[in-house]
Amino acid sequence: MIRLASWIIGSLVIAGIAAWVIALPGTLTLELAGYRMQPRLGTAVVILLVAAALVIAIWAITRRIVGAPRAMAKRRATRRREQGVEALSDAVIALQAGDPARARLMAREAQARLPDNGAAKLLEARADLALGDMPAAREHYRALIASEKTAVAALTGLYDQARAQDRPDAALTFARKTLSLAPETGWASQAVFDDLARRGQWAEAVGMVNAEPAATREEKARKRRRQAVIETARARESELSQPNSALEHALTALKLVPDFVPAALIAARIYSNRNEARRAQSLLRRIWRATGHPDVAALYAYSQPGASAVDRLKRMGEIIEMPPPHRAAGMAMARAAIDAYDWARAREALAPFADADATQGVASLMAEIEEGQNGDQGKAREWLARAVRAPRDPAWTADGIVSDEWEPVSPVTGQLDAFEWKVPVASNSRPQVTPSPAAAASPALLPAEQSLPLARAENAQ
């Protein structure tokens, strides 16, 4: 209603203005080509306005006629682009739906309509890769590397192709190239880092970790953990050849992760070899209270080189109270008592855990006690038979491999920090390294997992 009223009022105003212009007094004299006209002033104004409108209309029509070919070409280009975008969308959907043949067809159609579109070329390369046409995919990817916009995406495809063809060296080359073009690319950083870890190039690996940004608390904790693992790997590598440097790396790892058992064992062994037993024992007591790890207790008993079995049993009593608080403590105490021929104490240490849920380690120790104390072969064989069927004790495990000692990377996948202290779920095991006779004569000079007679035990609180 308001719009209708506004239209009526506007029309009346325009009509009034036109009537006023036509009614203006006076005349206008026009002479053109021998003709003379004297219209009224209002009529002359109207004629001029009509002439101006006619000129504008003729110019607009002429302009449209002259620009018709260009407008038609522009409409065709717009339509072609729309069809290319639609084909590109269909290619993405087909590739995601698991139809690489249709995805390649649509990608080629998109390229025909969008010749400068890198996404269409990339989709065709992905479709070729999904179809197993490796030569075609490689050629497409190599062509895309020339463009700055598509170089990283092309290198990603070449990396995936190299891994699918089991060509690790080529995959690593593509990862390094990607990292040089785009240092923030996550998969390339991880691939290069994993290669450094597999080859034991710890100085370069820790440099990469130090350069990683860490914004959240979880990212900072993950970064500290990786740094600690690398520092422990460096300490492990130089423990025998450069003990001072190894000790520095181990202590750095403990600053990053205060209860990291592998680093603590290395540092304690070096302290013991340097006749700094008190430092070794202080460190091991702290780690034992934090983790209850059996290797820590065993190394604590051997922290004083040349100590007798009785002395080792007394030293074990400094950190393990009776009755033992958990299975790992009980097995550590029982092992020391068996070595000292203190059968009563060994039985007392294992008594809370020698029930129906006894593990393989507990059952084996009970067999030793029965045979050593009473010479009872029957009971010893009974315990050994139980050990065969008993649950396993925790060990250093990674990717189904059980190792006698901690290792920084998985021997299967090469992943850093893959070993965990847990109950193995597979029966695979790595053969134990047999120490040389000279090294066997001095347990403190060996890695704890080789020199100490303590069996693996579960840290069950």
pLDDT tens by residue, 344-378: 999 999 999 998 889 999 999 999 999 998 888 99
At how many degrees (to 10) do helices 118-131 and 134-145 cross? 160
Domain boundary among 178, 195, 212: 195
User: Terminus-to-terminus CA distance in the chain, angstroms?
Assistant: 85
pLDDT tens digits along 39-57: 676 777 777 778 888 889 9
Considering the domain architecture, whether residues 104 and 188 belong to the same structural domain is answered as yes
Here the tokens at position 179 are 């990292």
Same structural domain, 184 and 205: no
Give CA–CA dist 156/335, Å, rounded: 54
- Find where tokens 């239209």 sit: 7
CA–CA dist 89, 94 (Å, integer): 9
- What was the pLDDT predicted at 21? 65
Specify the number of domains making up the chain: 3
Q: Average pLDDT for residues 142-171, to the nearest whole number?
A: 82
Q: Write out pLDDT tens, residues 201-223.
A: 999 999 888 888 888 999 899 99
pLDDT in tens, 413-439: 888 999 999 998 754 444 443 333 333
Nearest to 311 by CA among 327, 325, 300: 300
Confidence of residue 115 (pLDDT cuts 50, 70, 90): confident
For residue 164, give Cα distances in angstroms to 176, 178, 186, 191, 192. Answer: 18, 18, 19, 15, 17
- Domain assignment of residue 114, yes or no: yes
Give the residue-averaged pLDDT of 248-273.
96
Sign of the alpha-carbon torsion through 257, 263, 268, 274: negative
Report the CATH number that the domain containing residue 167 is assigned in CATH.
1.25.40.10
Does 274 score more than 80 pLDDT? yes
Q: Is residue 274 part of a domain?
A: no
SS3 453: coil
pLDDT greater than 80 at residue 2: yes
What's the pLDDT score for residue 257?
95
CA distances for 319 relative to 104, 297, 332, 364, angstroms? 69, 8, 11, 23
**CA distances to 76, 373, 381, 461 from 352, in Å:** 87, 19, 21, 13
Question: Of 226, 243, 258, which one is at a domain's C-terminal end?
Answer: 258
CA distance 373 to 351: 15
* Residues 102, 184 share a domain: yes
Q: What is the full DSSP assignment across 338-369?
A: HHTT-HHHHHHHHGGG-STT--HHHHHHHHHH
| 409 lies in some domain | yes
**What domain range is 416 assigned to?**
395-451
Establish if 142 belongs to a structural domain: yes
φ, ψ of residue 26 in degrees (nearest 5): 105, 165
CB 280 within 8 A of CB 268: yes
Q: pLDDT higher for 233 or 430?
A: 233
Question: Using CA atoms, how far apart are residues 399 and 411, in angstroms rounded to an integer?
Answer: 8
pLDDT at 451: 37
Please give the average per-residue pLDDT across 286-312, as a whole number: 93
For 50, 58, 78, 222, the CA distances from 63, given in Å and listed in that order, are 20, 9, 21, 69
Q: Which of 274, 268, 240, 241 is nearest to 254 (CA)?
A: 268
Same domain, 155 and 224: no
Q: What are phi and psi of 35, to 5 degrees?
A: -100, 145
Q: What percent of the chain has pLDDT over 90?
A: 40
The yes-or-no verdict on residue 170 having pLDDT over 90 is no
- What one-letter code names the amino acid at 96? Q
pLDDT at 242 (0 to 100) = 94
Residue 136 lies in a domain: yes
Which pLDDT band, with edges at 50, 70 and 90, does 305 fall under? confident
* 91 and 172 together in one domain: yes
Long-range Cβ contact pairs of 90-93 (< 8 A, separation 24 or more): 91/120, 91/123, 91/124, 91/127, 92/123
- Long-range contacts of 398-403, Cβ-Cβ distance < 8 Å, separation of 24 or more: 400/424, 400/425, 400/426, 400/428, 401/426, 401/428, 401/429, 401/430, 402/426, 402/428, 402/429, 402/430, 403/430
